[in-house]
Structure 1
Amino acid sequence: MIPQKRSFLYQPDMLNSIIYWSWVVALFFIGLTFWLEVTHFQWITLMFFIAFAFFTWCGIFFRKISINDQNIVVSTILNPQGSQININEISNVKSSKRKISFVFNNKKHEYLLPSNSIIEILSLIK
């Protein structure tokens, strides 16, 4: 029994993280290119910088793993309410210094987290 709800920020597996953050950084460089091409700040440059800031914020704060009672709720950018994973149905839990992976419903889930979050999640799962 977990006494309180715990939340952890995560990033998806390495390949998906690289793809997502490459597109986000591309928005910044497109805005910077527009700004330097026309030699003064325009509204299109502002829109690219706002889009960069928005997608950076979404990429960091919408990805959460919440553990409460006997469920793990994994929230993503496209599904902020998250998908429910029952702790008892998790199998094949593996962890390394920055990554945790497990199998749920014959699907492998991999997440990149800080090392102290991995230690805490492992203690709550087992």
Structure 2
Amino acid sequence: MQRHQKTYFYQPELAKTVILWSWTFCLLLSSLLLWLEITTLQIWTIILFVIFLIVSVIQIFSRKLIIDDKHIKLTKVIRKYNETIEISEIKKVKLRRFGLSFYFSDGKKTIVLNSRSKLQLYTDLQKDK
């Protein structure tokens, strides 16, 4: 079955996602606290807020799950840690409340997806089985 390449946005497993976004929101809170402490809008407040926006956009749009006929490629924020998973290596795919879990012979990988992407990816992978 010939499949076109599909792209989904994902986040890492739930625990990592909470930790990473907590650090990101520390930038936002620092910006707000600096603004409230000084009571006038300062350049440092604006700089911290812009850094928060940049980091947020990078975290959202750099993590992609790209699926084709034989592979699932997980791109990450730091490119040297990208992963490629062969679909034939996946033993089982399980729907989770916030995403999907891929089971392999030597472990599992869990990712967080939105509801629509989760169902589309699950049905695509079930067609191959």
Measure the CA separation in 1 of the matches of 2:4 and 2:41.
Answer: 48
8 A contact 2:91–2:105 mirrored in 1: no
Corresponding residue for 1:75? 75
Corresponding residue for 2:64? 64
**How many equivalent residue pairs?**
126
TM-score, with normalisation over the residues of structure 2? 0.87
8 A contact 1:58–1:77 mirrored in 2: yes
Residue identity opposite 1:34 in structure 2: L
Please report the RMSD computed on the Cα atoms of aligned residues, expressed in angstroms.
1.8
Corresponding residue for 2:110? 110
Q: 1:80 to 1:49 in 2, by over 3 A?
A: farther
Q: Give % identity.
A: 30
Corresponding residue for 2:96? 96
8 A contact 1:85–1:104 mirrored in 2: no
Corresponding residue for 1:52? 52
Listed one character per residue, the Cα deviations across residues 76-102 of structure 1 (whole Å, up to 9, x for unaligned) are 111278321110011232113432001
Measure the CA separation in 2 of the matches of 1:15 and 1:80.
Answer: 22
TM-score, with normalisation over the residues of structure 1? 0.88
Measure the CA separation in 2 of the matches of 1:46 and 1:100.
Answer: 38
Corresponding residue for 1:13? 13
The gaps in structure 2 that reach 5 residues or longer are: none
Residue identity opposite 2:43 in structure 1: W
The gaps in structure 1 that reach 5 residues or longer are: none
Corresponding residue for 2:42? 42
